[in-house]
Structure 1
């Protein structure tokens, strides 16, 4: 658990009242308080760096050195912590439950699927890593902890979501055709074509003849 306790240093409160009321004591304690505040921040950092899950970059580097791990330049602090936790807890012998605990740390709870095919001596693992370095770390873990007579089938899925705005167009078109003639004997038709999306086309035809 991360040590998050904040401490506001007020040295004047530790003095008896008859001394705290003196101006010179107030000035002296006020000048010393920044040093005690700095000391408290250092103490907080030292305590947090005793535990892998609460380490900062300086603290996790010490664990990496002990385990002979070398981080990548693009690694985040969370990735380095996960890698150290997996290596730290990779102890033999192990059970399926302990293997899932290791995968919870590396992949995140619920972000993987694991199935043991007993008759085939195959462990099937499906993951959803977007970082190839995490996939490499998974393979190293499996090679280290799996029994020699147990093969593994590892498949990584990259799920992408595509988002795109789209617009629907609508149009209405109305047409009328008038023919005025005294000797109109035939039929006159108006024809045409158009490509409209979500359209309403209305047409009328009038024939006036003698």
Structure 2
């Protein structure tokens, strides 16, 4: 098929020669590579369709540090949230940003006006975003605010009132381990 990309532009009597057919195969591969590179370049123009290479280039332009092991979709989410960010002049604008970055319900934000303290408490499933939030928000918030990002590790407060049967039914997990399988880990 790649040879046809080149041979279709040649006159019929020339396309019959073996040399031109071989040349057509070689040129066809080059044309395929160019077509693929053009398609990637077009995709990389937008964050939602960008390849990993395009996302890494945007992250470098924005000054974001990227780990080699970071998933492409998580990187896309980070780049998109930084790209769409604006200075949070109000607490509610900050909450909108956190909704897009962490997801609604995956954090609690509290502003103590008297103590000049801003506290963001992340759910445990969002713990990998803690350092990113710290580094990003330190550049945005006023210098007179004490800023801290904590993890909500109080799972007992959430599940302490539930019975074992309710925990099994709800599909609650202890990290990666389903509650129903925890009996294997109990010491006798």
Same-fold call, TM > 0.5?
yes
> In the alignment, what sits opposite 1:137?
132
Q: Give TM-score, length-normalised by structure 2.
A: 0.57
Q: Identify which of 45, 58, 65 aligns with 1:63.
A: 58
Question: Counterpart of 1:175?
Answer: none
Contiguous gaps of at least 5 residues in structure 2:
154-173, 184-188
8 Å contact from structure 1 (residues 111, 127) kept in 2: no
Mapped pair 1:39 → 2:54: no
Alignment of 1:21-170 (within 5 A): 23-24=16-17, 27=21, 29-96=24-91, 98-107=93-102, 109-117=103-111, 120=114, 123-130=118-125, 132-148=127-143, 150-151=145-146, 154-157=149-152, 160=175, 162-163=177-178, 164=181
Root mean square deviation of aligned Cα: 4.1
Question: Contact 2:134–2:148 (CA<8 Å) still a contact in 1?
Answer: no
Alignment of 1:165-176 (within 5 A): none
Q: How has the CA–CA distance of structure 1 residues 64 and 119 changed in structure 2, closer, same or farther, with 3 Å as cutoff?
A: closer
Aligned residue pairs: how many? Answer: 158
Q: Which runs of 5+ in 1 are unaligned?
A: 1-7, 167-210
Q: Secondary structure of the residue that 2:66 maps to in structure 1?
A: coil
What is the TM-score with the length of structure 1 in the denominator?
A: 0.52
CA 1:104–1:37: 2 relative to 1, 3 Å: farther
Task: Classify 1:129/1:14 alpha carbon distance in 2 versus 1 (closer, same or farther; 3 Å).
Answer: farther
8 Å contact kept, 2:107–2:123 = no
Partners of 2:119 and 2:148 within 8 A in 1:
yes
Measure how far apart 1:112 and its partner are.
1.8
Q: State the distance in 1 between where 2:30 and 2:104 align.
A: 46
Show CA shifts across 1:128-153 (max 9, x none): 24475421111223323234455556
Shift in Å at residue 156 of structure 1?
A: 1.9
Pick 1 or 2: higher relative contact order, CA cutoff 8 A, min separation 6: 1
Structure with greater helix percent: 2
